[in-house]
């Protein structure tokens, strides 16, 4: 099963999608940012580029959904029961990412790993990544493609689905001599 490392590209998305992980900060650049407090979300639009360590995500739009405020805010040590949660710079606290959705010409890269699709959904609670809309992944010369690629991060399990409407089947091109990192 040498093609499985091709799909492990999605394990990297977890790294990019969770700012609270051990990795460095997530650096996001876009033409516009819209914070929506009531929806616990931030929408980045226009040539979005998100980087964390050696993972880069490109998309037309990226929406980051945070867990509700009470779920992840911590009070300073010794704080009283009614003391408000500690806020970070600019008044915002460190918040836990609940879901990440990228749409429009999505591209994910890390080294020689690349993934393409029209949409990427990351679900933090399920630790699941879904790349859809003519989804394709490469590692070196190895390639896997389908309508949708679903990767379960904790299980190391992936599902590649065909496009029933066009009868386009799942495709894999595997080079037995290629080296997996």
Measured at the CA of 58, the angle between CA 87 and CA 100, to 5 degrees, comes to 45
* Averaged confidence pLDDT in the chain: 77
> Does residue 17 lie in a domain region?
yes
Helices (H), the chain: 4-7, 9-17, 69-72
> Does residue 52 lie in a domain region?
yes
The total number of structural domains in the chain stands at 1
Measured at the CA of 60, the angle between CA 56 and CA 64, to 5 degrees, comes to 70
> Does residue 123 lie in a domain region?
yes
> Does residue 136 lie in a domain region?
yes
pLDDT value of residue 8: 39
pLDDT value of residue 23: 61
CATH number at residue 54: 2.60.450.10
pLDDT value of residue 70: 65
Q: How much of the chain, in percent, has pLDDT values that exceed 70?
A: 71
> Does residue 106 lie in a domain region?
yes
> Does residue 77 lie in a domain region?
no
* pLDDT per position as a tens digit, 20-33: 344 678 899 999 99
> Does residue 74 lie in a domain region?
no
Nearest to 149 by CA among 139, 165, 138, 135: 135
pLDDT value of residue 18: 40
Q: How much of the chain, in percent, has pLDDT values that exceed 90?
A: 44
> Does residue 63 lie in a domain region?
yes
Distance CA 9, CA 137 (A): 8
Question: Is residue 64 scored above 90 in pLDDT?
Answer: yes
pTM of this structure: 0.72
Residue numbers of the domain that contains 124: 4-69+93-173
* pLDDT per position as a tens digit, 85-139: 433 333 455 678 899 999 999 999 888 889 999 999 999 899 898 999 999 999 8
pLDDT tier at 179, thresholds 50, 70, 90: low
pLDDT value of residue 67: 87
């Amino acid at each position: 099963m040498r093609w499985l490392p091709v799909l492990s590209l999605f394990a990297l998305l977890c790294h990019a999608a969770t700012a609270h992980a051990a990795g460095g900060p997530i650096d996001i650049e876009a033409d516009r940012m819209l914070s929506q407090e009531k929806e616990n979300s931030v929408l980045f639009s226009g040539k979005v580029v998100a980087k964390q360590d050696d993972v880069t995500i490109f998309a037309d739009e990226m929406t980051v959904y945070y867990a509700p405020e009470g779920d992840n805010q911590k009070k300073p040590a010794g704080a009283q029961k009614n003391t408000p949660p500690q806020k970070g710079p600019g008044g915002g606290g460190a918040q836990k990412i609940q879901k990440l959705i990228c749409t429009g010409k999505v591209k994910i890269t890390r080294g020689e790993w690349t993934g393409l699709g029209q949409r990427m959904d990351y679900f933090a609670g399920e630790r699941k990544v879904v790349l859809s809309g003519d989804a394709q992944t490469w590692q070196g010369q190895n390639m896997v493609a389908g309508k949708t690629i679903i990767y379960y991060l904790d299980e190391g399990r992936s599902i590649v689905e065909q496009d029933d409407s066009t009868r386009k089947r799942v495709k894999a091109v595997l080079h037995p001599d290629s080296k997996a990192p």
